Amino acid sequence: MKQEYMELALKYANKSYKMDEVPVGCVIVKDDEVVGYGYNRRESKQNPLEHAEMMAINQAAKKLKTWRLQGCDLYVTLEPCPMCAGAIIQARIDRVFFGAHDPKSGSFGSVMDLTQIKGLNHYPEIKGGILNESSKELLVEFFRKKRKQTSAKRNV
Amino acid sequence: MKQEYMELALKYANKSYKMDEVPVGCVIVKDDEVVGYGYNRRESKQNPLEHAEMMAINQAAKKLKTWRLQGCDLYVTLEPCPMCAGAIIQARIDRVFFGAHDPKSGSFGSVMDLTQIKGLNHYPEIKGGILNESSKELLVEFFRKKRKQTSAKRNV
């Protein structure tokens, strides 16, 4: 685990923030090289699959020319949802480092833990709470801004 | 539920079969119109995200210009894996009709049931076992062929 990669993931999360998207960023690293990155673009792309992790996995598979992302580590600022946690398992990613826990849909420990489901093809190593405060802060700020916008609209 | 849509999903599964892919096919229907289809292309695309359901959801979002696939039904020949079941929930798809149960990674009842996880944003209605025999037969035939190829290689 290298903190600089989580810092990079946070930079991508900031990119989502500036696009008025729920701020989540992700990087995938193999042999100390970034092979994929992503940031949440669900609203701007109007596509439910455009989470940060999915964009990063897609890029890494294209770069490495294989669906098997063995030897890869994934850094993401928020605990993956069921879709992204499932994609990480499909991609055979070795290790996952995430920032903030997600009590609403986090699937590596919060609402469930996919690594505890028996019979799957692969189980990545998981470590949560990396740069937790910075990851959380960005999300809290985003939702605060959203609420302000909503209440301003209401008062027009 | 209309059987003709599952028959169409089976045709797409056949397309995967001919490409030497694990044969899974999918269609998404809204107001009695097919708005997306997909077939497993993981090996040919060398991309872990290229499951039948993901291709179909991607298409439907592009066609309907929204990430919210409310009012859509999804037909798929095999019970969705964690990634695809999670994507279905992300996409707010109303109803899922699947063919064969998947004891290895089926996430709407087999290895787990995502609709039983508390706190998620959306819960689709699920019905499995539609055209079960035809869906299963194609998969069994695929794995039989694969084993033959492997043993032929071994005997060279």
pLDDT tens profile B24-60: 999 999 999 999 999 999 999 999 999 999 999 999 9
Tell me, what's the pLDDT at B151? 84
Of the candidates A77, A85, A130, the one whose C-alpha atom is nearest the C-alpha of residue A108 is: A85
Distance between CA B58 and CA B64 in Å, rounded?
10
Instruction: From the candidates B4, B7, B50, B53, give the one annotated as an active-site residue.
Output: B53
CB-based contact, A92 to chain B, within 8 Å: yes
* B89 and B120 Cβ atoms separated by less than 8 Å: yes
Of the candidates B83, B86, B132, B80, the one whose C-alpha atom is nearest the C-alpha of residue B108 is: B80
Q: Which chain A residue has the Cα nearest residue B118?
A: A111
**Token digits of residue B134:** 């035809």
CB-based contact, B43 to chain A, within 8 Å: yes
In chain A, what percentage of residues exceed pLDDT 90? Answer: 92
Cross-chain Cβ contact B87/A89 below 8 Å: no
Residue A114 has pLDDT above 90, yes or no: yes
Over residues B107-152, the pLDDT tens digits come to 999 999 999 999 999 999 999 999 999 999 999 999 999 898 888 8
CB-based contact, A10 to chain B, within 8 Å: no
> Can you point out the beta strands (E) in B57-128?
72-78, 95-100, 125-127
B contact test, residue of A49, A64, A69 with most B CBs within 10 A? A49
> Can you point out the beta strands (E) in A10-94?
25-30, 33-39, 72-78
Tell me, what's the pLDDT at A156? 65
Q: Poorest-confidence range of A19-23, A69-73, A150-154?
A: A150-154
The mean per-residue pLDDT over the stretch B82-110 comes to 97
| Chain length of chain A | 156
Q: Poorest-confidence range of A69-73, A90-94, A105-109, A136-140?
A: A136-140
Of the candidates B2, B35, B11, B50, the one whose C-alpha atom is nearest the C-alpha of residue B135 is: B11
CB-based contact, B18 to chain A, within 8 Å: no
Residue B155 has pLDDT above 80, yes or no: no
Tell me, what's the pLDDT at A39? 98
Tell me, what's the pLDDT at B152? 83
- Confidence band of A99 (pLDDT split at 50, 70, 90): very high
Over residues A122-151, the pLDDT tens digits come to 999 999 999 999 999 999 999 999 898 888
- Confidence band of B156 (pLDDT split at 50, 70, 90): low
Concerning whether B53 is annotated as a catalytic residue, the answer is yes
The mean per-residue pLDDT over the stretch B57-67 comes to 98
The mean per-residue pLDDT over the stretch A102-130 comes to 96
Q: Poorest-confidence range of A37-51, A90-104, B114-128, B140-154?
A: B140-154
Q: How many CA atoms lie within 13 A of B11 on its CB side?
A: 8
